[in-house]
Amino acid sequence: MKKLPLTDAAWLMLENRERPMHVGGLQLFEYPADAPADFLNGIAEEFRAGTLVKKPFNQRLRNPYSRTGSFQWIEDAQFDLDYHFRHSALPNPGRVRELLILVSRLHSTLLDRHRPLWESHLIEGLEGNRFAIYTKIHHSVVDGVAAMNLAMNSFTNDPSIRDLPPPWARSRKDLRISREFSTRDALDASIQHAGSRARGITGVVKALRDQYKQAKIHESEVVPYQAPPSILNQAITGSRRFSAQSFPLARIKAVAKALDGTLNDVVMAMCASALRTYLISQHALPDKPLISIVPVSVRPKGEESTGNAIGFLLCNLATNLGDPADRFTRIQDSMRRGKARLSQLSREQIINYALALTSPMVLGQLVGIKGDRRPMYNITISNVPGPRETLYWNGCRMTGLYPASLMLDGQALNITMVSYADSMEFGITACRKSLPSAQRLLDYLEEALDELAQIAGL
Burial of 351 (0-12, 13-18, 19+ CB in 10 A): buried
Report the C-alpha gap between 192 and 292 in whole angstroms.
21
CA distances 189 to 184, 358, 369, 456, Å, are: 6, 23, 37, 25
Q: Is 75 left (phi over 0), alpha (psi -120 to 50) or beta?
A: beta
Contact status, residue 380 vs residue 292, Cβ threshold 8 Å: yes
3-state secondary structure of 256: helix
Sheet strands side by side (includes 2-3): 2-3, 72-75, 59-61
- Say which residues have a Cβ less than 8 Å from residue 260's Cβ, sequence separation at least 6: none
- Say which residues have a Cβ less than 8 Å from residue 454's Cβ, sequence separation at least 6: none
Report the C-alpha gap between 426 and 442 in whole angstroms.
8
Q: Terminus-to-terminus CA distance in the chain, angstroms?
A: 56
Sheet strands side by side (includes 423-431): 240-248, 423-431, 413-420, 379-384, 291-297, 310-316
Could you give the residue numbers annotated as active site? 139
- Helix (H) or strand (E) holding 446, with range, is helix 441-455
